[in-house]
Amino acid sequence: MPKEKRFFREGGRRVVKAFAKFHPVTLFAYFAVILLFSMFIRNPVTVCLSLLGGAAFCSTLTNKREKLDDIKFYIPLTVLIAITNPLISHNGKTPLFFLNGNAFTLESIYYGVFIALMIIAVRMWSKSYSRIVTSDKFLYLFGRFAPKTALILSVALRYVPMMKAQAKKIKDAQKTLGLYSKGSYADNVVSTVKVYSALIGWSLENAVETGKNMKARGWGHGKRTSFSSFRFRAADAVVLVLLAVFSAAMLISLRTGRLAFSFYPEPTALPADPVSVFAYVCFALLSFIPFFIESEENIRWNCLRSKT
Beta strand spans in the chain (E):
7-10, 13-16, 95-99, 102-105
What is the reported pTM?
Answer: 0.76
CA distance 4 to 63: 21
Q: What string of pLDDT tens digits covers the 308 residues of the chain?
A: 334 444 444 443 334 578 988 999 999 999 999 999 999 998 999 999 999 999 999 988 888 888 898 888 999 989 998 888 888 888 888 888 887 778 888 889 999 999 999 999 999 999 999 889 887 787 777 766 666 666 676 677 677 778 878 888 888 887 777 766 666 677 777 777 878 788 888 888 887 887 777 777 776 666 666 656 788 899 999 999 999 999 999 999 999 988 888 888 888 888 888 889 999 999 999 999 999 999 888 888 888 777 76
- Pick from 238, 17, 287, 225: nearest CA to 133: 17
- Pick from 242, 241, 251: nearest CA to 286: 242
Q: Tell me the three state secondary structure of residue 228.
A: coil
Return phi, psi of residue 96, to 5°: -90, -40
CA distance 38 to 58: 15
